[in-house]
Chains A and B, each alone.
Chain A
């Protein structure tokens, strides 16, 4: 029964598509690479959307195709945009220009070009794990990567996020807006003062929630409870605010199907 229903629905859809295509209302899948591509893209779109109902062979096909294609896509991009210009181009510029990039104007070495043997050496070490005895050497590569990550992120987050965010919090909460003209007197607004004060208290409370080495009891516990509420407000607001952008994405896909493929709008 269920199966018959599906067959009927599919049949109707196919019939409509055939009629619309035959009558020239929408592009034929055999009209060159663009026509075929649009049809293929539309069917992939529908296949992925069908996952909302349940897993099915169509989704499974789209998923496996997407995984294979995208893995290769990023590898190709990695080769052409990182390996060629940033490794081969630094170590052997003239050879790289000859082989891959005739556009490479400057075929001389950078002053510190030999540094690029470092990532190459570690890259090769990394691959040694493919051999039974090379496993522990590939850990040298991981050690290098972890050191790089730690060294870069430590400073980046210390300056931009820790110090930067504290710096942005440091504002007068007197509710005074400085005069526009030099010499004028500032204007006071209770509303501004109120909300500026709320902001500072909210930050302090939320920071207290993240305090780990003190038991959240008594007045400290009460304050950190306010911190939880601040976090909940933050999350509720973040959730609610993001919805609009997500719907816009869906509208984009629907418009693709209805306009570029079916040509009904």
Chain B
């Protein structure tokens, strides 16, 4: 897919084109009410012939692009009468700019037919600029009067993102509320998660067999939250292992993960009072290369035959290579990842799989700290919010598309806009 040059991403592509398949957006300055108007205009002009289409863009204005770091001025206009879907004559709009109202004006960019706005991102803050919009059509070019001065400046608050802020505050609020309520002594109900129960069982089995336990924390670095969740689960497994006094081996694909895993496992051994059993050589770095890492871990598996393999973190194509190799040595396998593309392979090849969100729930559950359970409850409230929005939004949109009653259409459009996050 190609992004069109000289258009503000997101906004124009999605909303401001008089697209036959979408409504016009309220946010980009073209209220939904304009669509019928546009249709009327086209009807009216259809009979008038091409002579009338000579007129160019009207109502041209220019001003600072809101909610940005400055260095951008937005030029907007009403599309020319000849700018329409069928038998259109307009081929585009050329934007001209000058530092003085007298000119000289130089062309700085072009917008497609159907566009009603152009963001000039090649300006400095605090300087006066003047603009003209030249409508290019098959009948020739028409220039608008000079508009200006316009000045770009930086803002402190991005008001375009108010909806993200609302959702953020809601989610964080619920999370903190439930964490605090557990701290105050409430006990939440958490349903059974199959993969979770298997963790202790799998550790026990390895101990009985006297064979090592392999923990693979994924192949991503500490900048992936999945790795963080995986390491938290590693902490729990390490505590159990330390109690049983069996061997835990953690090969990592990133040096930082190795470092963090060592801290976590050492802490776990310490917390059950067995600091002497901890051997940092069992947590080692292999290589950053995805398939080099897999080659190394595969080699470890077939030579040392661990009884249990955990995969907790971010995985890519290596998921199935690891799972099939470890299956061939008869190991019990528990996987957990939030990589949607790899879940099918873990589900097919492993004994237990923590699916997506379950990985994070498990990390909270196994952390051993009751208050972390509050975050699971917080996640659920988020889901509830999402589900309600989906039902409400789909119902509104469906009704609106059938009935077409304007307030309904606008309400539906509002729900949809509320969940839109593309930067305008």
Please report A residues at the B interface, Cβ cutoff 8 Å.
Answer: 48, 51, 54-55, 59-60, 62-64, 66-71, 73-75, 126, 129, 138-139, 142, 145-146, 148-150, 152-153, 155, 157-160, 162-164, 166-167, 169-174, 176, 178-183, 186, 200, 203-204, 207-208, 210-216, 231-232, 234-239, 242
Q: A148 vs B188: C-alpha distance in the bound complex, in angstroms?
A: 30
| A26 shortest CB reach to chain B, Å | 27
Q: 23 A-B pairs, CB-CB below 8 angstroms? A: A60-B299, A63-B299, A66-B295, A71-B285, A74-B287, A142-B260, A145-B223, A149-B224, A153-B223, A155-B164, A163-B420, A170-B394, A173-B398, A181-B85, A181-B86, A182-B39, A210-B357, A210-B383, A211-B380, A212-B379, A213-B189, A215-B189, A235-B348
Cβ of A208: which chain B residues have Cβ within 8 Å of it?
Answer: 387
B42 close to A182 (CB less than 8 A) = yes
B142 within 8 A of A: no
Q: A127 vs B304: C-alpha distance in the bound complex, in angstroms?
A: 31
New A-B pairs, 6, CB < 8 Å, besides A160-B421, A167-B420, A173-B397: A149-B228, A170-B397, A210-B383, A213-B190, A216-B191, A242-B341
B9 within 8 A of A: no
B127 within 8 A of A: no
| Most chain A beta-carbon neighbours within 10 Å: one of B228, B286, B344 | B344
Cβ of B358: which chain A residues have Cβ within 8 Å of it?
Answer: 210
A163 close to B344 (CB less than 8 A) = no
Cβ of A71: which chain B residues have Cβ within 8 Å of it?
Answer: 285-289, 292
- Nearest A residue to B192 via CB reads A216
B343 close to A212 (CB less than 8 A) = no
A171 close to B222 (CB less than 8 A) = no
A183 close to B43 (CB less than 8 A) = yes
Q: A170 vs B396: C-alpha distance in the bound complex, in angstroms?
A: 9
| B254 shortest CB reach to chain A, Å | 10
Interface mask (B375-402 → A, CB under 8 Å = 1, otherwise 0): 0110110111011011101100110111
A238 close to B341 (CB less than 8 A) = yes
A214 close to B391 (CB less than 8 A) = no
Decide yes or no: A204 and B391 within 8 Å by CB, A174-B398, A176-B402, A213-B191 being known contacts: yes
| B25 shortest CB reach to chain A, Å | 13
Interface mask (B27-70 → A, CB under 8 Å = 1, otherwise 0): 00000000100110011000000000000000000000000000
Cβ of B188: which chain A residues have Cβ within 8 Å of it?
Answer: 213
Cβ of B296: which chain A residues have Cβ within 8 Å of it?
Answer: 63, 67
| B324 shortest CB reach to chain A, Å | 10
A159 close to B421 (CB less than 8 A) = yes
* In-complex Cβ contact of A239 among B85, B345, B383, B394 (8 A): B345
- Chain A contact surface mostly: helix
- Nearest B residue to A179 via CB reads B20
Decide yes or no: A145 and B394 within 8 Å by CB, A60-B299, A67-B286, A239-B348 being known contacts: no
Cβ of B401: which chain A residues have Cβ within 8 Å of it?
Answer: 172, 174, 176, 186
Please report B residues at the A interface, Cβ cutoff 8 Å.
Answer: 18, 20-22, 35, 38-39, 42-43, 85-86, 163-164, 167-168, 171, 188-191, 193, 222-225, 228, 256, 259-260, 263, 285-289, 291-293, 295-296, 298-299, 302-303, 340-341, 343-345, 347-348, 355-358, 361, 376-377, 379-380, 382-384, 386-387, 389-391, 393-394, 397-398, 400-402, 415-416, 419-421
Cβ of B389: which chain A residues have Cβ within 8 Å of it?
Answer: 166, 170
- Nearest B residue to A245 via CB reads B317
- Nearest A residue to B353 via CB reads A235
* In-complex Cβ contact of B400 among A48, A163, A172 (8 A): A172
A138 close to B259 (CB less than 8 A) = yes
| Most chain A beta-carbon neighbours within 10 Å: one of B85, B222, B225, B379 | B225
Q: A172 vs B394: C-alpha distance in the bound complex, in angstroms?
A: 6
| B50 shortest CB reach to chain A, Å | 19
- Nearest A residue to B383 via CB reads A207
Cβ of B285: which chain A residues have Cβ within 8 Å of it?
Answer: 71
| Most chain B beta-carbon neighbours within 10 Å: one of A145, A163, A203 | A163
Q: A88 vs B397: C-alpha distance in the bound complex, in angstroms?
A: 54
- Nearest B residue to A169 via CB reads B390
Decide yes or no: A162 and B386 within 8 Å by CB, A62-B295, A182-B20 being known contacts: yes
Decide yes or no: A213 and B380 within 8 Å by CB, A162-B167, A203-B390 being known contacts: yes
* In-complex Cβ contact of A170 among B299, B302, B393 (8 A): B393
B402 close to A174 (CB less than 8 A) = yes
Q: A51 vs B188: C-alpha distance in the bound complex, in angstroms?
A: 49
| A224 shortest CB reach to chain B, Å | 9
A146 close to B222 (CB less than 8 A) = yes
Cβ of B287: which chain A residues have Cβ within 8 Å of it?
Answer: 66-68, 70-71, 74
Q: A63 vs B421: C-alpha distance in the bound complex, in angstroms?
A: 45
Cβ of A54: which chain B residues have Cβ within 8 Å of it?
Answer: 302
- Nearest A residue to B287 via CB reads A71
| A203 shortest CB reach to chain B, Å | 7
B18 close to A214 (CB less than 8 A) = no
Q: A203 vs B291: C-alpha distance in the bound complex, in angstroms?
A: 34
Q: A152 vs B267: C-alpha distance in the bound complex, in angstroms?
A: 27
* In-complex Cβ contact of B344 among A59, A60, A155, A238 (8 A): A238
| Most chain A beta-carbon neighbours within 10 Å: one of B188, B361, B386, B394 | B394
* In-complex Cβ contact of B419 among A73, A163, A186, A237 (8 A): A163
Cβ of B20: which chain A residues have Cβ within 8 Å of it?
Answer: 178-182
